[in-house]
Chains A and B, each alone.
With several copies, the nearest count.
Chain A
Amino acid sequence: MVELAPSPVVQSAEIPLKPESKRENFVRAYRWMLLARTLDEKLAALYKAGGKISGGVFLGTGQEALSTALGVALRKGDVFAPLIRDLAGRLAFGEPVLDATRTYLGSRLGPMRGRDGNIHRGRIAEGQMAMISHLGAMISTTAGVLLARRMRGQTGTVGAISIGDGATSTGSTHEGLNTAAVEHLPLVAVIANNQYAYSTPTSRQFACEDLLDRAKGYGYEGHSVDGTDLEACLEVLQRAVDRAREGHGPQMVVARLLRLTGHGLHDDASYVDPKLKASPVGADCLRLAEKTLLERRWAEAKDLASWKAECVKEVDEAAAQAMRDPAPDPKLEDWSALNEPEMLDLGLATRG
């Protein structure tokens, strides 16, 4: 996908959009969504083929509009702590496709060097946080990055964190959200309410009418959005990111959508309520975006086809590259969890 210019949305934060740029914006976002969907499909195929991918594969199917909208609303230099369904947002924020394929396919050359896997990848120097599994943990960590920047006098930066409806129940999420508010940090907390946490419906997760009701209780500005609607997502996420950047303190975005896949690929999601699937919340944001593109004549069917072909090509190349890469070699590892073992390690040799 080298043809794409660097995300122009950076400017959109400063200059109101002209009608042309609205189209440009939408098309660009759509193409990130398409790339993410294509990569997810590839990973699914590789996983199902067996033997190529170790560990779980967690797809973002149905959440690409929301995730992309966040990714494009952020600028280079911002910080982004994605969660498991944020492939689209990662790509839009600047993560190379090769980082994903390398991590999933066990290349030694991926950002985690085989030490951690799959969705846990990140590049801290690029502001791409490398999540730990414990849901909510990355919120305070992202707040810490923002606090450090403020202490050093660096301004204009935004941090974004992404969580699901289920993760709202963790103590870590609560403490992280609250701490960011106390520090009045430019944090954007995006909650993808995709109706399930693994198999657990929201009725077993919280008892409020709308998760957005929590915004006030934390002292966040709140934004609601239909997560199936790319246009709405682009607008709302941009607004939230802008508000944070302009110093209005932390922002909470709650999106309604449905997870259109199992929790992971091992899960057939047979427990998902068919009524939800049939309802508007169950719509596929990618298909809706395509409909919009065609209806508004922002693209023709052949454009869609050729963009898809480009995505397939990029993804296939990245997968092929990752498979040619060397695997991690235990003999090349230093097997130290400390950065300065030489300074401290005297005889921690209880292995054999």
Chain B
Amino acid sequence: MATTYLEAIRAAQAKALQDDERVFIYGQDVGAFGGAFKATKGLAAAHPGRVMDSPISEDASIGLAIGASIEGLRPIVEMQFADFSSVAFSQIVNQAATQFYRTGVPCPMVVRLPSGGTPGGGPFHSQCMEAIYAHYPGLVVMTPATVEDAYHLLLAAVELEDPVIYCEHKFLYNHLKAERLPEKSDLPPNKARVARRGRDATVVTYSAMLHEALTAAGDLSREGWEIEVVDLRVVKPIDTETILESVSRTGRMLAVGESAPWGGVTAEVVARVAADGFRFLDAPPRRLACKDTPVPYHPNLWAAHRPNAAEIARVLREVLRF
């Protein structure tokens, strides 16, 4: 039976609760109800007292998790939507992120952010916040794009002795399926994945945009181009090595992200490639992000606001013909 991306997230949490008694889950409606998206369905019943409903207090939820973490537990905090982590922003970047550096006491915890746009989601239920958290020293930011990574990166996040912002993409929750969950990941969490081999240009991307990029690559292959697609998996730290290795072979690159065009992962990737891979480049490195407005509510507007396969293909053609 196929496993969805969402089921993989649930399975990883079930395994973490099972294997490590320090793990607990905290967040709005995560208990008996199983969470707004059902990512914790059944877990409260299976692990009494370890899957707890929080008040609508994101700041306190993160503060509480920090306290539990420095006391030796391993909290997983679910934000109902990534967008609501904005009210816990200070606790995340000022306390969780600085704890180890300031005190020498590690602060392992995972904050799950249901991220990204869906039709009808609108400005406050669609945000991608990976760039916000990645900017702050002291955080690891994961952005799984596949069912397998959703599972294995979450398990790695729970094991890591650092606070992890785990950005799971809502658009993939039920769309994306895998035949089975492999026991082990084919890659350590610190490596980007070459999701498709190519020769003519490299697309560097992550999360839901991986699938748009793969579609674009498929389309272009029918035009005779071989596009390599790199899935970052973790956006902080970034595996620059894998990106550069790819660009050294293709000579061209496009960074694609769903979040806002000023800054973001795309800027970071292009800046790295430009600085460290300049000699490999046969064409200007390019970027594609969403439009510089809040994420619009109406599906028509939303579809035009985010990058998609057609647009990726269009820009890639420009890159290829440079």
Query: Is the pair A144, B63 in contact by a Cβ cutoff of 8 Å?
Result: yes
A-B contact count (CB 8 A): 304
Whether B71 lies near A149 (C-beta < 8 A) is yes
Q: A54-B298, A130-B103, A337-B294 are in contact. Are A348 and B125 (CB under 8 A)?
A: no
For B64, B70, B138, B140, the residue with the greatest tally of chain A CB atoms inside 10 Å of its CB is: B64
Give A116 Cβ to nearest chain B Cβ, in Å: 5
A337 pairs with B138, CB closer than 8 A: yes
Main secondary structure of the interface of A (DSSP, over half): loop
A106 to B97, CA, bound (A): 23
A window 321-352: CB within 8 A of B: 327-330, 333, 335-341, 343-352
Tell whether A140 is near chain B: CB-to-CB under 8 Å.
yes
Interface pair A112/B300, CB less than 8 Å apart: no
| Interfacial residues of chain A within 77-127, with CB under 8 A of chain B in the complex | 106, 111-118, 120, 122, 124-125
A35 at the interface (CB under 8 A from B): no
Using known A-B contacts A137-B90, A351-B288, determine if residue A144 contacts B65 with beta carbons closer than 8 Å: yes
Q: Which of A124, A178, A271 contacts B105 (CB 8 A)?
A: A124
A335 to B289, CA, bound (A): 13
Number of chain B residues whose Cβ lies closer than 8 Å to a Cβ of chain A: 104
Contacts A175-B59, A335-B292, A350-B266: A330 and B90 contacting too (C-beta < 8 A)? no
A155: interface (CB < 8 Å):
no
| B238-A348 in contact (CB<8A) | yes
Q: Which of A22-30, A194-202, A225-233, A287-295 contacts B (4 or more CB under 8 A)?
A: A194-202
A55 lies within 8 A of B121 (CB): yes
Instruction: Report how far A211 CA is from B45 CA in the complex, Å.
Output: 30
A200 and B298 alpha carbons, distance in the complex (Å): 30
Q: Which A residues from 273 to 300 make CB contacts under 8 A with B?
A: none
B284 at the interface (CB under 8 A from A): no
Q: Does A204 contact B (CB under 8 A)?
A: yes
**Bound form: Cα–Cα A149–B240 in Å:** 41
Q: Which residue of A lies closest to B73 (CB)?
A: A148
By a CB distance below 8 angstroms, the chain B residues around A166 are: 55-56
| A51 → chain B closest CB, angstroms | 11
Interface size on A, residues (CB 8 A): 78
B66–A144 contact, CB under 8 A? yes
Whether B301 lies near A114 (C-beta < 8 A) is yes
A340 touches B162 (CB 8 A): yes
CB-contact partner of B64 in A132, A144, A340, A346, under 8 A: A144
Say yes or no: is B120 at the interface (Cβ < 8 Å to chain A).
yes
- The yes or no answer to B53 lying at the interface (CB within 8 A) is yes
**Chain A residues within CB distance 8 Å of chain B:** 53-56, 106, 111-118, 120, 122, 124-125, 130, 132-135, 137-149, 151-152, 166-167, 169-172, 175-176, 178-179, 182, 197-200, 204-206, 271, 327-330, 333, 335-341, 343-352
Listed A/B pairs (11) with beta-carbon separation below 8 Å: A55-B297, A116-B102, A140-B60, A144-B64, A144-B67, A178-B55, A206-B55, A335-B292, A338-B138, A343-B188, A350-B267
